[in-house]
Structure 1
């Protein structure tokens, strides 16, 4: 390559990058904090470094002059997101990693969201199998997380799927339910360790509105120690709409308050009741003010187009949660939801990272909805990342 060609190539690359960055300036939410920039308000949310493969995809798009797609992916990665900690390191290394994230956020006057994902028997030994070997190892890990946080602010999303998918749900329990009882004790240990920290709020797993009924999930939350936590979270890595999640969250907070006052969870209205009937019941039976109820947060990272409806009669197991096609980014993260029970909308699942190798009941290995094999769980999924950008609602590029 001649010096003239190299110079021209550099010029084009810089021009493309400048155009992409300019396009994204208005698209990045005001509360997203770029590296080295201090948020103007203490309620800003922390933006961690992007997945390196996301950056590689952005550079490749720039190289091929696909500027709008590059700008969209850049906007996505510059939006506040959770930081996941999934074990696999020593307690000392865990403490250092958590400390680094919380320290980076504190320097930017931003609130980090920590997704802790190391419960024994995680994900019923399926796509995201792993976790600590036993309760003792898990408690040591939680203690390391606690030391890493210290007294600095942090929101903790404690163990996705840990209560909506307990060992007894997937045939991992014995006749006495020992493993499920251990699961509740493990979650409660984490709550007792982390919630008392000066700046920490802990939220427990409550699945989503398309999974468990209110009457089923409330006893699980109670067994996991929700009484000692700030509240619960909804829709992690899922696609339920904001309005559906808000109503489910209200029913769940209300039922927890009702049970706390001596009522039975079986009496509470659930998401399948007619809305007017459920509201009438709440008005008659729940006396607790919203400020005194358990609050919730919701994951809006991929729910911009709502849930996917699989084609009827095609798949024996459609896996509608697993890399469904045609989904989009959802509402941008914020701590100002306008809902007295909802503390935040967050991007907890990292958009663009795969849910796993989805075969939808077929022999595989290809995902029959896509015609190719999906990346393993947690790996970057370039095609899906662009789908999420293209189908974002609200759009990343408002007019």
Structure 2
């Protein structure tokens, strides 16, 4: 089935689709790099050079406003799109690995108001509450199954409706800013079936949002997420605009039985361990049956709900864990030997897919994974994993080494020696070209973290706009040959703090 339609919101100025993604020069990845050295530091600086989500997870409404404003302000100055992950629902993650969140609905929506105030009228894209639709306290599925998340602190009679009030309230507040794109949790291709997640998305307000996101912090192949997302969009279209009666989610084809007209109504459950396609030889990876079911029931109507896919760690797909080895495999939790996936982009080549994003920050741990053992070691790795959100040196190295497509190291390096000078600072920068070709003329840039101002540069000319600094090569010594170094001396006023990342001719550098 070919999805071609697009709602007007996806094409509005300032929307995510087609925008240039923002790289935060003060990301948690580059923050982690400051405490590392050697290969681990270079890995973090490489990952920090690529756009990834900026997670807003705690604090007062005012603190959330300030944090968001800083990100959006810097992105707006560059004409780029920030991707902000809003993650503070009450009982988020059902109080598991990423426990936390606001105290109740009123506190949550007040906190979202802070996020909204931080964005203002400027362009921003919001990934709204990973797992927020997938894990709902005291929830009963369309099939009448009561799900596992049943916290005693919440009233079973109101917990689910409270979650929908929280998500709908957040959508309405965020979409009041015309330049804000909002995507709701659509789970993933190996989780909820198509009809179930479509029902939840509609209840959560997806028709007033810009769409949904898939595979957040997970490892499913991009091809599988694309097929699954197209089916979810098709199911939403069918139930809301085509079906003769409301609530016809059971008529939506899904990944757990792929029969349809194209297969003579013969089908099997689809596997997560192979890439899906309409012509796959493996029946468990073949989408043609489900595709043809939607062609049949839609009758020419086109799906129009857009989505984005997290490709941060899915280059090799999911971990096919060894059978009968661990009491609980926890294949989502820091699985070994995974690789980075497709680089973030808003040019996907798929009309319904607004972007491939790195929602999960690659290199940050999923949590302390015990896989059903008493710990403290992760038995799949033989080491103790860092707590959720903390930097995981070994995993970062794996993701880079096994990236698919492969990823090249950074091709420049800056050694910085700084000195405090009265109320100002001085610094010597040694710039080295570690790439494969000469740079002529070279240009070095960085972002200050406060109110620092350059007053003098020896070895180049400079300009500064706000926190953004550019040093251009001198005319007589503009070429930086392969493997060669050049030296720049700078002086200025303000704190003598080291920039977290330098850029040479627009490309990020390692530094020490």
Structure 1 length-normalised TM: 0.84
**CA distance in structure 2 between the aligned counterparts of 1:77 and 1:196, rounded to whole angstroms:** 31
Identify which of 239, 246, 252 aligns with 1:268. 252
In terms of fraction of residues, the more strand-rich structure is: 2
Identify which of 369, 372, 376 aligns with 1:365. 376
2:291 paired with 1:279 = yes
What is the CA deviation profile of residues 343-397 of structure 1, one whole-angstrom value per residue up to 9, with x for unaligned ones? 0000010111000000000111110011111100000111111111111111112
- Mapped contact 1:172–1:179 kept (Cα < 8 A): no
2:290 paired with 1:288 = no
2:212 paired with 1:232 = yes
- Mapped contact 1:158–1:203 kept (Cα < 8 A): yes
In terms of fraction of residues, the more helix-rich structure is: 1
2:116 paired with 1:146 = yes
Identify which of 33, 49, 55 aligns with 1:55. 33
2:245 paired with 1:245 = no
Describe how 1:304-343 pairs up with structure 2 within 5 A: 304-343=315-354
Which residue is 1:18 aligned to? none
Segments of structure 1 that go 5 or more residues without pairing to the other structure are: 1-40
Describe how 1:9-28 pairs up with structure 2 within 5 A: none
Which residue is 2:160 aligned to? 180
**CA distance in structure 1 between the aligned counterparts of 2:66 and 2:317, rounded to whole angstroms:** 38
- Mapped contact 2:237–2:302 kept (Cα < 8 A): no
Identify which of 155, 168, 179 aligns with 1:199. 179
**CA distance in structure 2 between the aligned counterparts of 1:105 and 1:177, rounded to whole angstroms:** 43
User: Displacement, 1:196?
Assistant: 3.0
2:54 paired with 1:83 = yes
Structure 2 length-normalised TM: 0.66
**CA distance in structure 2 between the aligned counterparts of 1:111 and 1:82, rounded to whole angstroms:** 11
- Mapped contact 1:214–1:270 kept (Cα < 8 A): yes
Aligned length, in residue pairs: 349
Q: 3-state DSSP class of the match of 2:126?
A: strand
Q: 3-state DSSP class of the match of 2:37?
A: helix
- Mapped contact 1:116–1:158 kept (Cα < 8 A): yes
- Mapped contact 1:73–1:385 kept (Cα < 8 A): yes
**CA distance in structure 2 between the aligned counterparts of 1:129 and 1:238, rounded to whole angstroms:** 18
Q: 3-state DSSP class of the match of 2:34?
A: helix
**CA distance in structure 2 between the aligned counterparts of 1:116 and 1:50, rounded to whole angstroms:** 15
2:168 paired with 1:156 = no
